[in-house]
Amino acid sequence: MSQIAEGLQFPVNPNSQKSSSSNTAKAIIAAALHPLDSNLGDQLTQEKNWRKNYPIYFKALVEQGIKSTAYPIQIAEAGLNKAQESFEFYRDGHAYALKDLMQIPNIAQMHRYTLQGQSTEAPEWYVPYHGRELRGAALLQQIDTWLAKGVIEKSHADALRLVQAHPEWLDLSKRHMVLFGAGSEAGPLKWLAKWKANIIAIDLPNSKVWKKIVDTVSAGNATLIAPSLTPLNEHTSTEQAIEQLGANLLTQTAEIAKWLSEQPEQLDLAAIAYLDGEKHVRVSMAMDSIMHQVSLQKPDSSLMYMCTPTDVYAVPAEVLETTLAKAQQRSQLEKVCSKAIARLSRQHFFKAQPAQIYPSDNHKSYAIADCIVVEQGPNYALAKRLQQWRATLARHQGQQVSINIAPSTTTHSVTKNPLLKAAFSGASLFDVEAFEPDTTNAIMAALWVHDLYNSQALANPNNSLEHPLELIMDAANHGGLWRVNYVARSALPFAALYGFAKDKLHLKK
């Protein structure tokens, strides 16, 4: 046991003494699927090529979930229970089940450090877009343009318009907003720092990370609240504080949960931390464990998540109708070429989105948008699905939950993959828009505000959902991926080729 790294880890096979993220992921998804489709659950358990075939099973979760308004809750409960049973937490050479996290010994006491921003400017909101700062009429016009192009859904447009019409919502001085991964490139820190929020920042004990966080809050009108193992006070200089602040979500999971549970204020908890590969699953499990524990101790806490558009979702049937209509409007050349390529590649390229409608027991029907990009891998898909499950279950249990699909964004974590960078650059070939980080940050921060302050928002558990999956499909900004004529991963190579050509040869669509 002493050779196992400290903190939250995938389980170790007692025979091989090695951990396997694939086997753990398969067990979790199988546990969620098996009660509803035992044959597929058994097939998954025996799956030999998980890395290639995982989209089959993630889509099956959505197909099963649509059938009954009760099924998404059953799936979420089964999947989260299996995940909690599977992962382990190591401390001082001993292994503990993650579900028993708060029972581990030697949970250290963390201390609260506070820093006040220096700005006296009133809160404002605008959207940075292609070198401009869109406000007022210009912003409303751009929202209309995105909606007309199918980049965003009507409910997303409505939410942004409401935020623009209610500038008083931007005063967050009465809210205490916890950011797990506060320095994240895709996070709302910059905007909360302009909106008088009390920002409880959780990020690694790293002076570069904390200098960025402290500088951002100092330049704004917000208040920073941060954890430290060392007691700090008003006489501690900013330079000294930066060296002491922070907490590791993977190794100090219990400490963070205990510290947040002890805060006297009502909390809004945002799961925005990201890590590459299998660490993304582990950090998602760490955030989930903390948020669940805090919610048990502080039931008035709200939760916030941002979904990726490159996943598989239940969508309104109208989305499929408009996609099929769009397919008919293609040029004859595109129709002939795409069909020929699809046939020659045995549907590996230009595979058409299935024209299938799925009925539910709520007397409504839905379609499925399969936008998974295999290159992002099963760990990424599992990490995001765990977050969807917790959001679905918590909302069902009466908690306020903001979960919104964010557009594909050219963050460093995405563009360091040459294929994905080129594909995003060439996404316009299929009428898909990839957003710059500053644009996404502004939009998603506004959606969080909308979900907290609009009493009619579906985030509010007092408003009824016709189906649990509608919580996630509401207010989506998928960048146009829902309305692409083809399964996204089957068109990705051509988007990448176009992206390479566009960037190198200045090729036009």
Instruction: Report which residue type is found at 76.
Output: A
b/e map 202-238, b = 16+ CB within 10 Å: bbbbeeebbbbbbebbbebbbbbbbbbeeebeeebee
Tokens representing residue 5 in the block: 């790294």
Of 8, 47, 9, the C-alpha closest to 27 is 47
Q: What Rg, from alpha-carbon coordinates, does the chain have?
A: 23
Model pTM score: 0.93
Of 508, 411, 400, the C-alpha closest to 463 is 400
Q: How far apart are CA 350 and CA 488, in angstroms?
A: 8
Q: Give helix then strand counts, H and E, for the chain.
A: 19, 15
Strands 302-307 and 401-405: parallel
pLDDT of residue 1: 40
**From first to last of its 509 residues, what are the pLDDT tens digits of the chain?**
446 789 999 998 777 778 889 999 999 999 999 999 999 999 999 999 999 999 999 999 999 999 999 999 999 999 999 999 999 999 998 999 999 999 999 899 999 999 999 999 999 999 999 999 999 999 999 999 999 999 999 999 999 999 999 999 999 999 999 999 999 988 999 999 999 999 999 999 999 999 999 999 999 999 999 999 999 987 889 999 999 999 999 999 999 999 999 999 999 999 999 999 999 999 999 999 999 999 999 999 999 999 999 999 999 999 988 877 776 666 676 656 666 665 656 666 677 777 899 999 999 999 999 999 888 899 999 999 999 999 999 999 999 999 999 998 887 776 677 767 777 677 777 788 989 999 999 999 999 999 999 999 999 999 999 999 999 999 999 999 999 887 777 777 666 666 666 666 555 55
**Per-residue DSSP letter, 308:** -
> The sheet that has 94-97: what strands, in order across it?
7-9, 88-91, 94-97
Helix axes 278-297, 253-261, angle to 10 degrees: 30
The domains of the chain, with CATH numbers, are: 7-107 (no CATH), 111-308+381-410+436-483 (3.40.50.720)
b/e map 297-317, b = 16+ CB within 10 Å: ebeebbbbbbbbbbbbbbbbe
